[in-house]
């Protein structure tokens, strides 16, 4: 799927990787980019339509879906990451509300448009979906759950021609990793790699040097093989072929 001429919605579009995804979509010739944000956003490019979209607000999600007739690619990028030690249930619930249920709710709301377009869903998850960093365990739990959601949606929506991509992003230089002194990719690099991989039809995307180092072993590993075998149980023969 090439990005030129496509209509794309990015959640969490005002900063970090979301902002870079909007810029990259425009530079690749997207026809319309819906920029979902919690605070109002002004964008100099006329192809950008700002949209009030707190992914924990059922009312805002419903209103946003009502304004969009056509959608080729939904990028669930909005995310929350807080340091914790799993001692406070409320912190876990906050992560699940944004990273799992936000992704779920936005996806469900835009599914009719995506199915009509035979489009794609791109969930910006985290390498921590595969292995937690115990400095942010609640975040890792929410990303692991969102990854599992992504895998099931991939199998369930294949028959409708909707592709579902998981982005297993590694450390990226945004507000989320401020003060964390480790090698990080730039958000622009990550955004380019995500669109390249969507273009190439890669279902699991490893968009930075840290995540790319595990891509081969993930794709050839037992867990991926099991995902394929399980998915075949719910896919019609044409999609599973």
Ligand X SMILES: NC(=O)c1ccc[n+]([C@@H]2O[C@H](COP(=O)([O-])OP(=O)(O)OC[C@H]3O[C@@H](n4cnc5c(N)ncnc54)[C@H](OP(=O)(O)O)[C@@H]3O)[C@@H](O)[C@H]2O)c1
Residues forming contacts to ligand X in the complex (CB under 6 A) are 11-12, 14-18, 38-39, 54-56, 77-81, 98, 102, 124, 126, 169, 171-172, 174-177
Give the CA-trace dihedral at 122, 123, 127, 129, to 10 degrees: -140
**Closest separation between CB of residue 106 and ligand X, Å?**
9
Least distance (Å) between residue 56 CB and ligand X = 5
Indicate the residue among 48 and 158 with the shorter CB distance to ligand X.
48
Task: Using the CB atoms, write b or e for 6-26: b if 16+ within 10 Å.
Answer: bbbbbbbbbebbbbbbbbbbb
Nearer to ligand X, 30 or 64 (CB): 64
Judged by beta carbon, residue 158 or residue 166, the one nearer ligand X is 166
Residue with smaller CB distance to ligand X, 70 or 180: 180
For the CB of residue 26, give the shortest distance to ligand X in the complex, in Å.
Answer: 17
């Amino acid at each position: 799927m090439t990005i030129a001429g496509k209509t794309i919605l990015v959640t969490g579009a005002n900063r970090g990787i979301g902002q870079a995804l909007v810029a990259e979509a425009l530079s690749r010739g997207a026809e319309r980019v819906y920029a979902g944000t919690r605070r109002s956003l002004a964008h100099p490019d006329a192809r950008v339509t700002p949209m009030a979209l707190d992914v924990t607000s059922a009312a805002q999600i419903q209103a946003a879906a009502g304004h969009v007739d056509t959608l080729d690619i939904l990028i669930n990028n909005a995310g929350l990451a807080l340091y914790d030690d799993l001692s406070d249930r409320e912190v876990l619930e906050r992560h699940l509300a944004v990273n799992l249920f936000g992704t779920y709710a936005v996806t469900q709301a835009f599914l009719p448009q995506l199915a009509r377009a035979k489009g794609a869903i791109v969930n910006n998850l985290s390498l921590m979906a595969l292995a937690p960093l115990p400095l942010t365990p609640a975040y890792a739990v929410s990303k692991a759950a969102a990854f599992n959601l992504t895998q099931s949606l991939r199998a369930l929506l294949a028959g409708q021609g909707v592709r579902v991509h998981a982005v297993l992003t590694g450390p990226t230089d945004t507000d989320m990793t401020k003060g964390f002194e480790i090698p990080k990719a730039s958000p622009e690099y990550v955004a380019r790699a995500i669109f390249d991989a969507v273009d190439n039809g890669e279902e699991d995307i490893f968009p930075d040097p840290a995540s790319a180092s595990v891509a081969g072993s993930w794709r050839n590993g037992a867990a991926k093989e099991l995902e394929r075998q399980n998915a075949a149980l719910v896919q019609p023969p044409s999609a599973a072929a």
